[in-house]
Structure 1
Amino acid sequence: MHKVLLVDDESWVVESLKDLVDWRLHGFEVVGQARNGAEALEAISELEPDVVFTDIRMPEMNGLELIQRGRSASLPVHFVIVSGYAEFAYAQKAMNQGAFAYCLKPFDEIEIAGVLTRLDRMLKEKKAPSERSLVSLVGDSGTDGESGRRLREELRKHGVLEREADGFVAVVSVGTGELPRPAAPCLVFKTGAAKTAVLLGSGRASAVLDDWQGALPPGVKGVGVSRSIADAALIGDAIEEADALAYHFFIAREAGPHRSLPFREAELRQALAEMSEAVREKGDAEALRALDRIEALFREGALSIRHAFQVYNMTVSLLYKLGQTETILYGYDQLAQTFADVFEMMDELKKLAARDLNQAEPAGAEPRNRTFDSILQYVTGHYREDLSLQSLSEQFFMNPSYISQLFKKEVGETFTAYVTKLRISRACELLKKGDDTFQEIAERVGYHDYFYFARQFKKITGATPTQFREAHS
């Protein structure tokens, strides 16, 4: 939401302007009001509005002087004049000084709505390059010293780093809701369709997190907090750590904020090794005992969603080697959408292991190649969607494990690898010929998390999205 400050010495004028239009419908929120230019300057400094609607004739400091003072101080705010016919000459002066628009009293709803529409468009266009630059800097921060240096400059400019030794933390929220913006200096930007990252100085983080504890807004499913780091080149790693912790609601069944814990990874590795051996020997009882030990670690809070992701994909991959269904998941979000929590996931893995370790070959006769051609054509046309072997099975009335085997036989790679290559190939085309943000491109090719997209992109192309765009511009 863009923030608006209303300035007029007559309170009834302010109230009528507040009630005239649905500000939120147009992307705006009225955050305050002032009776004259002097009060307005203080409010601008405190509230940091994007837009100020101001009268011209007011006591102490009029609207013209307010605009002049705002311009001389380089305040990042746009002014809209609201006045009557008698002040039209003053309004012309205000427009010459850079006011965005002039609205007559008495107010007309259509006129105000039109001004808000134009303001919304301009503010979005103005903010987009800044956010795009910041996300790309974070994505590239570990690739060379220049990106890390520029990112550190951004952190200092926004007051996130008061001193070199302070360091900072990354906070990631997951869900459609938005965290209250901290009063402390911070950087806030979207990393996915339903993910927001906040960078805070370490010294201020505790107070901010205490404010959020137990009082998260509706729609915020989880919040994760990284460890404190001092090197801007590691900020991508910090966001990745906070991202995994934001999904700890999948394990702990509460939203957080969740911080880094000493996870018991050695015990997990041992249990996974035992399960791998059991699957190889088709020992269903041994495999189930290993899964029980892993579930106990989750119940004790000794593992994270990163480990749940590893357990799920490794288990189904082991079963896939026996000829069973390949149902690899792409990210934490898909895992959390597939299962209510990690314990439902573990129940499903136990059922799969008990069933599949007792049958090595899928049922059903081999379909003709033209049937697979239809499947391939469908996948090529729908790869931007959340495809899975199960959804293909329902679409084509075939055994999902058999579809998985056909991909290996006919195209020489797994279903997951094939879809990933389609997505990254299309992303390359968009990076070459368009000016969309990296996040927009990620979403257009089927990824809801920019940083997961960036990792897949670099894995396949050998370059980050920024490097690829620069090389082909």
Structure 2
Amino acid sequence: MRKVLIVDDESWVVESLKDLVDWKHYGFEVVGQAYNGAEALVAIGSLKPDVVFTDIRMPEMNGLELIQRGRRLSSRIQFVVVSGYAEFAYAQKALTYGAVAYCLKPFDEMEISGVLLKINKTLDGAKSDPDYSLIQLLDDPSSENQLKLQEEFKKYRIPDWSTGGFVAVVAVGPRELPDFYEPVLKLKIGTSKTAYLFGAREAETRKRKWIEHFPPGTKGIGISEKMTDLSVIKEAIALADLFAHQFFVNAEAGVFDAQSYKNDELNKQMMEMNDAIRDKDQKEANLVFERIEGLFRSRSLSIRHAFQVYNMTVSFLFGLGQAENILYSYEQLVQSYPQAFAMLDELQKLTARYMRSSDSPSVETKNQTFNAILQFVTSHFNEDISLQNLSDQFFMNPSYISQLFKKEAGETFTTYISRLRIAYACELLSSDNYSVHEIAEKIGYHDYFYFTRIFKKITGKTPTQYRGEQK
């Protein structure tokens, strides 16, 4: 059995990774665990593991430094980074420092199992199959990295890429695309997104196969235009990512590639939306929504346009600009609404409520108004509560409520409710009645890793560290 060491400053994370995989089935056993980098370095010296799964952000010594120093103890150790941060810079550094894979939390059993299979090949002396080899080259278009990219394409025998060209494909879904027989380079670019690079001549055949037998569990597959310049790989992947999310606009899964979009027409409609909201003209606003819906139904828009419609409409309504209610990624939009038409329906209802409401009072309104809001928040802080919820409850403009918090409480609504939740979490952590995961749910955070980040930001400690100090 090959030995595995798991390193993370949250004991719950360590235990969940231990229980996720049938380690013995793949020829591994977990021989130890550590809760910071310094402790892990000592464990590496004594346990001599073959594989180390490590978080990046940890006290005393972070995961990147652990990889560097651990490599000095043994060049054969295979480091796998597991992190809650889907940031290109982290992945780039981790792979540059010698990690063999970068996996995002929450863990995916298939992904971890796939990493173990690759590690087995490496430790058995076979050539490694580094799905992640491109990630350290994409952001730096230097001539040296261009040569390395050429070597990667040659290594994977992608034919005629310089003349016949290559394409980027992005698949949105929890599983990788099956049955890739032709040479392909593969790159995990998100918790539910994988990018593929292969010869353009195979693209049309592959597209027909996907259309005839669409891969189960996949939401969308995007195919970029043909490229012959390796310096534009990153742009090709971004384009394929945009196309892949067309399932959100079309309200159905499918294979998508380049198409023409009616950008000018949408920009015109958004200008008219701004005028209708400014004039509180409900009839005109409804007509604008109908015209925008027509553009979506004609499939003349992309998720980028859906993103534009959402952010601009909310900004027109409440003057929030880039404030806390504005979405900032395709993923957020897809998680918030099942498809574009549900988003439009919600925006139209929101606009109607705004039109029906009386003019918002000025910030100089007496404090009794804010006290009522504050009492409600204090009583319901552990529920799913937002500025929009408060707007519906108190028939006020969300922007005005946001201003009240800054003026009367001296902090934003988000900061205020976070402090209430973390204070209650501290009370619950003082006893052993609930696990950290249960406490996160109990105080209103449905994402465990987001809870731990907020807790650490406010208290300076992880929930596990805080609980340990109470004993």
Scaled to the shorter chain, the TM-score interval is 0.5 to 0.7
Structure 2 residue 171 is the aligned partner of structure 1 residue 173: yes
Distance 1:271 1:399, change over 3 A: closer
Partner in structure 1 of residue 137 of structure 2: 137
Task: Please state how far the C-alpha of 1:119 moved relative to its aligned partner.
Answer: 6.3
What number of residue pairs does the alignment pair up? 302
Structure 2 residue 119 is the aligned partner of structure 1 residue 122: yes
| Contact 2:172–2:244 (8 Å) recurs in 1 | yes
Partner in structure 2 of residue 50 of structure 1: none
Normalised to the residue count of structure 2, the TM-score between the two structures is 0.54
Partner in structure 2 of residue 389 of structure 1: 386
Partner in structure 2 of residue 355 of structure 1: 353
Letter in 1 for 2:370: E
Answer with 1 or 2: which has the greater Rg: 1
Letter in 2 for 1:299: R
Task: Find 1:366's aligned residue among 359, 365, 370.
Answer: 370
1 CA distance for matches of 2:377 and 2:344?
35
Task: Find 1:263's aligned residue among 261, 264, 268.
Answer: 261
The answer for unaligned runs of 5 or more in structure 2 is 1-20, 28-112, 419-446, 451-471
Partner in structure 2 of residue 203 of structure 1: 201
2 CA distance for matches of 1:349 and 1:150?
48
The DSSP-based 3-state class of the residue aligned with 2:153 is helix
2 CA distance for matches of 1:246 and 1:283?
36
Distance 1:137 1:350, change over 3 A: same
The DSSP-based 3-state class of the residue aligned with 2:222 is strand
The DSSP-based 3-state class of the residue aligned with 2:318 is helix
Distance 1:392 1:270, change over 3 A: closer
Partner in structure 2 of residue 285 of structure 1: 283
Aligned pairs for 1:205-244 within 5 A = 205-244=203-242
Task: Please state how far the C-alpha of 1:269 moved relative to its aligned partner.
Answer: 0.7
> Alpha-carbon deviations, 1:183-234, whole Å to 9, x = none?
1111112111111111111111111121111312321111111111222222
Partner in structure 2 of residue 62 of structure 1: none
Partner in structure 2 of residue 272 of structure 1: 270
| Contact 2:156–2:185 (8 Å) recurs in 1 | yes
| Contact 1:134–1:151 (8 Å) recurs in 2 | yes
Moved more, 232-241 or 263-272: 232-241
Aligned pairs for 1:148-159 within 5 A = 148-159=146-157
Moved more, 328-337 or 233-242: 328-337
Structure 2 residue 340 is the aligned partner of structure 1 residue 342: yes
Distance 1:124 1:193, change over 3 A: farther
Same amino acid, percent of matched pairs:
39
Aligned pairs for 1:100-119 within 5 A = none
> Alpha-carbon deviations, 1:231-260, whole Å to 9, x = none?
222211111111121111112122221111
| Contact 1:149–1:232 (8 Å) recurs in 2 | no
2 CA distance for matches of 1:322 and 1:284?
20
| Contact 1:171–1:239 (8 Å) recurs in 2 | yes
Letter in 2 for 1:366: F
| Contact 1:170–1:225 (8 Å) recurs in 2 | yes
1 CA distance for matches of 2:115 and 2:134?
25
Letter in 2 for 1:300: S
2 CA distance for matches of 1:208 and 1:258?
12
| Contact 1:167–1:201 (8 Å) recurs in 2 | yes
2 CA distance for matches of 1:123 and 1:405?
57
Letter in 2 for 1:280: R
Letter in 2 for 1:365: T
Aligned pairs for 1:74-113 within 5 A = none
> Alpha-carbon deviations, 1:103-123, whole Å to 9, x = none?
xxxxxxxxxxxxx99965834
Task: Please state how far the C-alpha of 1:157 moved relative to its aligned partner.
Answer: 2.2
1 CA distance for matches of 2:294 and 2:163?
40
The answer for unaligned runs of 5 or more in structure 1 is 1-21, 29-115, 380-386, 420-442, 447-473
| Contact 1:171–1:197 (8 Å) recurs in 2 | yes
2 CA distance for matches of 1:294 and 1:229?
33
| Contact 2:243–2:258 (8 Å) recurs in 1 | yes
The DSSP-based 3-state class of the residue aligned with 1:190 is strand
| Contact 2:169–2:195 (8 Å) recurs in 1 | yes
Distance 1:276 1:415, change over 3 A: farther
2 CA distance for matches of 1:445 and 1:286?
44
The DSSP-based 3-state class of the residue aligned with 2:254 is coil
Task: Please state how far the C-alpha of 1:310 moved relative to its aligned partner.
Answer: 1.0
| Contact 1:278–1:286 (8 Å) recurs in 2 | yes
2 CA distance for matches of 1:251 and 1:130?
34
Distance 1:415 1:370, change over 3 A: closer
Task: Find 2:310's aligned residue among 309, 312, 322.
Answer: 312
The DSSP-based 3-state class of the residue aligned with 1:257 is strand
Partner in structure 2 of residue 332 of structure 1: 330
1 CA distance for matches of 2:411 and 2:129?
41
> Alpha-carbon deviations, 1:58-102, whole Å to 9, x = none?
xxxxxxxxxxxxxxxxxxxxxxxxxxxxxxxxxxxxxxxxxxxxx
1 CA distance for matches of 2:153 and 2:137?
11
RMSD, aligned α-carbons: 4.6
